Amino acid sequence: MGNGVREGPVEFQRDVEPVTARIPAEDNQEKKKVLNSLMSGALAGAVAKTAVAPLDRTKIMFQVSSKRFSAKEAYRLIYHTYLNEGFWSLWRGNSATMVRVIPYAAIQFCAHEEYKQILGNYYGFQGKALTPFPRFIAGSLAGTTAAMVTYPLDMVRARMAVTPKEMYSSIVHVFIRISREEGLKTLYRGFTPTILGVIPYAGLSFFTYETLKKVHAEHSGRAQPSPPERLLFGACAGLIGQSASYPLDVVRRRMQTAGVLGHTYSSILRTMRDIAREEGLVRGLYKGLSMNWVKGPIAVGISFTTFDLTQILLRKLQ
């Protein structure tokens, strides 16, 4: 009996130890995965947006004005901005962009990885590529999550891009003046068209990029595309995603900057109607799209490529 009493606890401890050891290991692995996604996404967003910041600022300035867009006028605006305000003024508002885009991109890419896993488990695709519809849903949910969290920073960035530096001296100054003069609610003006635009934009961007990688793997026999191929896939993703949601991007910018440019836009449909009536359907709601076809694919291509390569590097280091 004595031997039986002693052996009981020993048997129990042998059964429990592997389970308790396994749970922290799985938790640590999941935490590392999330942290890697956040770091890779933050770097991807920062590199991509900085690379195209002068074109981005120029596009916003056309979007919020009634001036007709052309490549010649865009070049003239960039050149005059450089002459009158200096070279670094072309990156005006980029500090606000970085404050927004680093958390935005980090959340978006990390959320995309998590949504892919959740949808994969739900549809029974664990460890495999998702089918087209869940692929689109994962991208849309990721973009929506990131936009909801970081929207006020996007508003601030738009204000800084279209105003002289004398009006707003810093990001904090923009927040203070808007909340004092226009009310805190203004920080979310244009939020609805943003979300409506993010759903097709993020959904189609991630869908296109993931689909092109899957098709490439099936036809080439290589599990991973090369960096130039990633850039090309990302460029295609950006071209399709931004073209689909562009009118809502124009509406968003008009609503965000209405307070400083003397306009009043109360709803999405009224804003679209006013723009179309005053400037024309195509010339108004698609103003600057040709510049976006240059800027967008470059930015999205750099973003996706930087994210993937950083992920690969971090996995190797770990």
Residue with tokens 């080439």: 220
Go through the chain and tell me how many residues it has: 318
- E strands in 154-211: none
CATH numbers and ranges of domains, the chain: 66-188 (1.50.40.10), 189-287 (no CATH)
The DSSP symbol for 30 reads H
Q: How confident is the model at residue 126 (pLDDT cuts 50, 70, 90)?
A: low
Average pLDDT for residues 244-255, to the nearest whole number? 87
Flag whether pLDDT at 151 surpasses 80: yes
pLDDT band at 261 (very low <50, low <70, confident <90, very high): low
Q: What is the pLDDT of residue 318?
A: 72
The confidence band for 202, taking pLDDT boundaries of 50, 70 and 90, is very high
Does 18 score more than 60 pLDDT? no
Q: To the nearest 10°, report the CA torsion of 68, 274, 144, 309.
A: 0
- What pLDDT is attached to residue 88? 80
The answer to whether 57 and 16 have CB atoms below 8 angstroms apart is no
Residue 34: which residues within 8 A CB-CB, separation 6 or more?
A: 110, 113, 114
Assigned token pair, 207: 């869908």
How far is CA 89 from each of CA 48, 58, 65, 264, 273, rounded to the nearest angstrom?
Answer: 18, 11, 19, 28, 33
pLDDT classification of 160: cutoffs 50, 70, 90: confident
DSSP 280: -
What confidence score (pLDDT) does residue 104 get? 93
In eight-state DSSP terms, residue 68 is P
Which pTM value belongs to this model?
Answer: 0.74
pLDDT at residue 21, as a whole number: 47
Mean pLDDT of the chain, nearest integer: 83
Q: How confident is the model at residue 11 (pLDDT cuts 50, 70, 90)?
A: very low
Percent composition of the chain: helix, strand, coil (DSSP 3-state, to 5): 85, 0, 15
Across 268-284, average pLDDT: 87
Q: Indicate the Cα dihedral angle 303, 306, 312, 317, nearest 10°.
A: -130
Percent share of the chain, pLDDT over 90: 33
Query: Does pLDDT of 12 surpass 60?
Result: no
What is the rounded average pLDDT of the residues 176-200?
88
Highest average pLDDT, of 155-164, 185-194, 305-314, comes from 305-314
